[in-house]
Amino acid sequence: MNNNTPVSPRPLSHLSDDARSRVLSLAQLRERGVPGGRATAQCRPGGPWQQPLPGVFLLHAGPPTADERLRAVLLYAGRPSAENSRGVPAQPTSASSPSSTSGSGSGSAASGSPYGAVMITGPAALALYGFTSTPPLLSLDRIDVLVPRTRRLRSTGYARLIRAHSLPCPELIDAMPVAPVGRALADAVAELSDADAVVALLTEAVRAGHCEPALVVRELNQSGLLARRHVVDAVDTLLAEGRTLAEGRLYELVRVYGLQDPLWNVDLRLPGGPYLGGVDAYWPDQAVAVELDTRAPRPGGRDEDRTDDEDELWAAAVRKREHLERLGITVVHLTPRKLREAPEQQATVVRTALMAANDRDPAAQVVILPR
């Protein structure tokens, strides 16, 4: 063989041996020695490959799986780093839990991902989290992907880009970066005009334990969705649902951990005097009260107005607690999240308050009324 003898192209069948590597970007193919022209030729009519999105290649001719569609969208929207261009999944530098807030992250949080600083969001993300009120992944006409606002790409095909000034820290599901539940919910709700569909999504998020109502409302608020009447109505249903669930967890905590039965949902006032406020549980012999902190940001007005309202709600709660404690009543605040995630610890907090009653001065006499 001399220098003028044509060299046969290397067979490409080995590239599709690994199911996880059957979706590759042009940059990743070049890293594997496949030039752009040859990759494009593979996608001609009747060819063995296809190109579902610009610059993204599916290394087989059949319909893409749900997993392949997701990875194709991530590759189209993202910027795989050179060190990850060989398709080796990398962990993001940090990740949030489903119940943590997603509004304070940054694009650098996903910089270790093989897909760059992008993540699946909206209905596709909720389907990955196991939501049953969203369509199955394969039936989605488009897949939402959260990208930095400076990303110079357009939505195309089944990839819809949602730009954000600040990106949350993603969750990893099957080695794919996925927006936290709260942010994914907000992006899904933004595309819904049907009140029942919004209620179904928000209710499932809370009922299935994906996140707490306060987080959902905060994400909707930050996304500007609380200006929509049908979303506000859904939030009212959500908050009622969240409180009911929290009360159920409190009842279960008392039963499971063998605490003395309290008086449930009562109002307190001084004899012949002013109203002191309502509590969710009260042990009169020990003068211990439990309050569930289910407060959440409420719609209406500008961001700074809502902050003032929240400050006033917080100040009113502090004044109520201080008044009760001046009367010798111990007030224990429990949050829905703590009741869900650490019930034994919360039972210990309540039990400790009850046991400490013997070491305190007697509390003032109060009138107890059913709510």
pLDDT by residue (tens digit) across 220-243? 999 999 999 999 989 888 888 888
In the prediction, which pLDDT does 308 show? 55
Lookup: tokens for 164: 């954000």
Which of the residue ranges 35-44, 93-102, 344-353 would you say has the lowest mean pLDDT? Answer: 93-102
**Spatial contact of 268 and 358, defined as CB atoms under 8 Å apart:** no
Percentage above 90 pLDDT, the chain: 56
**Spatial contact of 30 and 80, defined as CB atoms under 8 Å apart:** no
> Averaged over 272-297, what is the pLDDT?
87
In the prediction, which pLDDT does 315 show? 77
In the prediction, which pLDDT does 297 show? 45
Q: How confident is the model at residue 306 (pLDDT cuts 50, 70, 90)?
A: very low
- Inform me whether the pLDDT recorded for 80 exceeds 90: no
Q: What is the pTM of this model?
A: 0.71
Q: Which domains does the chain have, with CATH numbers?
A: 14-191 (no CATH), 246-370 (3.40.960.10)
Say whether 206 sits in a helix, a strand or coil.
helix
Please name the residue ranges forming H helices in the chain. 26-31, 36-42, 66-77, 122-128, 181-189, 195-207, 213-222, 229-256, 303-326, 336-341, 343-355
Higher-pLDDT residue of 254 and 113 is 254
In this structure, the chain runs to a length of 371
